[in-house]
Chain A
Amino acid sequence: MSTPRRGGPAVGGRLALVAVVGALVVGLAVPNWAGLVGVVLVLVVGVLVDLLLAGSVRGLRIERPDDGVQVRLGESLAVGLVVTNSGPRRVRGELRDAWPPSCGASPEVAAVDVPVGERRRVTTTLTPGRRGEHAADRVTVRSWGPLGLAARQVSTTAGGRVRVLPAFASRRHLPARLARLRELDGRRATQVRGAGTEFDSLREYVDGDDVRSIDWRASARSTSTSGASGATGNLVVRTWRPERDRHVLVVLDTGRTAAGLVGTGQAAVPRLDAALDAALLLAALASRGGDRVDLLAHDRMPRASVFGARDPLPAMTAALSGVEASLVETDMAALVATVLRRASRRSLVVLLTGLDDAVLADGLEPLLGPLLHRHTLLVAGVADPVVTAMAAERGDAAAVYGAAAGQVALAERRDVAARLSRRGVEVLDAAPDDLAPALADRYLALKARGRL
């Protein structure tokens, strides 16, 4: 491939060892300039011989057969390189397939031995520690001469990208929620009658049906058309099913608050990751429930969006893989304007955000009118277990002052939630681990109440 190549010679530890031995020989046996020159000559000749006899690295063709692969965060993936030796000599040495540090490439350096005219596959295992789009860096090959004193080295690019998808740890909550969804689907008409449920069909009354579901007008019509069998004619009941084909728009706030780490130690995750996990669970659930799910990630401008995808979960997973929080204040006006523009039909708008200061409420409150007029708004906040723990701490003065500060923070959250609730916004406030199932449950509850 026509890629820029950079390289040159390299020397080995063996050359340094030879030089040290040479120094001892000079010091003990030939302590004069001739000894020094002799050592220099030995080193130079050794290096020249090795460089001449080393397999040519420029004759190597390095290709990456599988490009643009995907892996879920927390899992491993083997990526391969095919090294073809079209040079005149065997190439023996090392190869480094360099990836960004967070990709966790292993082994860092692999041994290669490619005879003339043959090719070998070199496999590197990636265990990424961070989601996103990662591109491979250079591939470097070092080919040693027969003496092991010096080598030829070249760095080249062979392409290669890996997309690290979000871990979607809340997948484990999906089966239970799907069961609840099916339950909802199969509910008797009587149990789900109410605003927003959809009329499904008319059928004849059978024993056990709620008498309240009898459609008297239809029964009368049915009796009259079926002739003279009299008053004991067919009773017709209406059946209902949960609403379907509703729209759910998940909006991720990727601004300043999303960058904060919540939780302690190993369990600490950025708010964005917790929100993203919840968004994926909601998308999986809603798409199985027959609803359309769209996605928008927004801070000062849209960062990612998925609209009208036939299979929203993979599309959203891919779109969200590269989304990171930015250290800017979210522009709520722009966010709401985007939502109003993109969500043409009545939707459940789920805004996943921090919910931890008045800035959010101040920014959102004046914009609620048109939003609530057309849509149902659910604001889900990621709480910080650290603050909750601080608020409960006792013992010494430092702990009690910490508890006071924690209480202030919690009170602020309550205040924001209360302000939004008063305006008719659905509010959910949960710790990062509980957010995904709590949001799924709230969605199911809204669906059952016909609020979508």
Chain B
Amino acid sequence: MSTPLRARWRRARGPVVIGALVLLAAVVLTVVGTRADRGLLDPDSVDPAGGAALVALLRDQGVRVDVADRPDALAAADPGTTVLVATPDRLRRADLDTLARSGARMVLVAPGSRPLEALAPGVRAGAPPPALLTTESPDPSCPVPAAVAAGRIDTDGDVYEVTPPAVGCYPQGGTAALAVSGRTTVVGSATPFRNDALDHAGNAALTMRLLGAGPRVLWYVPPVLPDDTAGPTPLVRLVPPGWVWGGATLLLAALVTALWRGRRLGPLVAERLPVRVPAAETTRGRAGLYRRLGARARAAEVLRDDARRRLAARVGLSAHTPAEALTAAVVAAAPGYDPAAVADLLYGAAPPDDRALVVLAGALDELRGAAAGSGRVPAGRGEDQG
């Protein structure tokens, strides 16, 4: 029993191992890849990456902080409101339009190109300059009051190319880590807002000034919603750039696997097999027809005929004995049976329904048993034989 199991395992071992490897790699990458983003700037989170400390500081200063995670909350933004969006890439097209129309001050943390186009004209995502040209924490070097007041901050995130009239701060080899375009402030890094980095350098000063400029802050955490206006995102755009090549190699591996499994050790052998049908099929078919047509009269006649034949053989009469003679002989052989009842059993009318047919079949069997058990008749050879 274990031999075919083992053989099957041996055959399946290769694909299973490969599948397990791929699965393991996927799990590892998912875990490693998502840890950085989890709970980032969550206003309720006291994790190192959360934003609860900043919220508490703002409230201490008498600023009203509303936390929202539904798109309709953006309608409440007015020119007196400062809207903080920690993950602006999740904003839908409609949300961007709402924000652009609201006239509210906006602070966007590490936005991609789409929110930049909509909310911060003149600011474009830039490529990070070579490490040699960057300084650990550059000076603000700009006229933005919040930046000037804060001095040096943590600038470990994205950088932007700024074209006037937008203003860039914390320059890094031609790009800026902070940019102001109209009423929108773009901060390339989330670090200055984080719980664990608020006390670094001028982080707290910068963020407090950016957010505390008005009486009200709308801390917006966009839900992960499908963008209903941007159309379907092609699969390739969702794959991290490196994994396009990894995926291509994986496709190659799939091709090799197909070649491996597809090559047979010699061709299949065909064989002509003889036809085999159960011989009783026709009899079963006839039984089904009888039943479907409710051929009770026919069925009862067949069963009675068989019982008459066997009883006649049992009492030593010919199969063509007249009804009266056979009835008399059977009554004599089966004590306790009423002649009228026996005549009715053997020669009676067709049963009116299926129940009556079943009862009749049982009664005929009983009558045969009674006639056989009487002992009056010598056990003739083979009552079953015709």
Contacts and interface: CB of A to CB of B under 8 A. Distances in A.
Interface of A: 10-17, 19-24, 26-28, 30-33, 35-36, 39-40, 43, 94, 96, 98-102, 109, 130, 137-140, 142, 153, 155, 257, 259-262, 268, 270-271, 324-325, 327, 354, 356, 384, 386-387, 390-391, 394-398, 400-411, 414, 417-418
A260 B284 CA distance: 14
Pairs of residues from A and B, 5 with the lowest C-beta to C-beta distance, nearest first: A27-B246, A31-B242, A260-B279, A140-B266, A13-B14
Contacts, number: 217
The residue in B13, B242, B245, B249 that gathers the most chain A C-beta atoms within 10 A of its C-beta is B249
Contacts of B317: none
Nearest to B253: A19
B39 to A, nearest CB: 26
Interface in B271-307: 271, 273-280, 282-284, 286-288, 290-291, 295, 298-300, 302-303, 305-306
B127 interface: no
B27 to A, nearest CB: 13
Contacts of B22: 20
16 contacts: A19-B252, A19-B256, A33-B245, A94-B265, A96-B266, A99-B269, A100-B270, A155-B266, A260-B278, A261-B278, A384-B280, A390-B287, A397-B355, A403-B303, A407-B302, A409-B283
Given A153-B263, A394-B365, A400-B299, A20 B21 contact: yes
A226 to B, nearest CB: 52
B257 interface: yes
A262 B279 contact: yes
Contacts of A402: 283-284, 287
Given A40-B252, A409-B283, A16 B274 contact: no
Contact of B246 (A23, A262, A417): A23
A137 B246 contact: no
Nearest to A31: B242
B267 A155 contact: yes
Nearest to A93: B265
Interface of B: 13-15, 17-18, 21-22, 25, 241-250, 252-253, 256-257, 259-260, 263, 265-267, 269-271, 273-280, 282-284, 286-288, 290-291, 295, 298-300, 302-303, 305-306, 354-355, 357-358, 361-362, 365, 386
A24 B25 contact: yes
Given A19-B249, A20-B253, A94-B265, A404 B298 contact: yes
A149 B169 CA distance: 58
B287 A11 contact: no
A396 to B, nearest CB: 6
Given A11-B259, A417-B386, A404 B242 contact: no
- B interface SS class: helix
A394 B274 contact: no
Given A17-B14, A140-B265, A35 B283 contact: no
B275 A259 contact: yes
A397 B358 CA distance: 6
A98 B245 contact: no
A26 to B, nearest CB: 4
Nearest to B14: A13
Contacts of A142: 265
A422 B276 CA distance: 33
Contacts of A101: 269, 271
A432 B302 CA distance: 26
Given A31-B242, A268-B278, A404 B283 contact: no
A270 B274 CA distance: 10
The residue in B267, B280, B282, B357 that gathers the most chain A C-beta atoms within 10 A of its C-beta is B280
Given A11-B259, A31-B241, A259 B274 contact: yes
Given A16-B253, A390-B287, A400-B361, A270 B247 contact: no
The residue in B22, B252, B288 that gathers the most chain A C-beta atoms within 10 A of its C-beta is B252
A407 B357 contact: no
B84 to A, nearest CB: 34
Nearest to A30: B245
Given A22-B249, A27-B246, A400-B361, A15 B265 contact: no
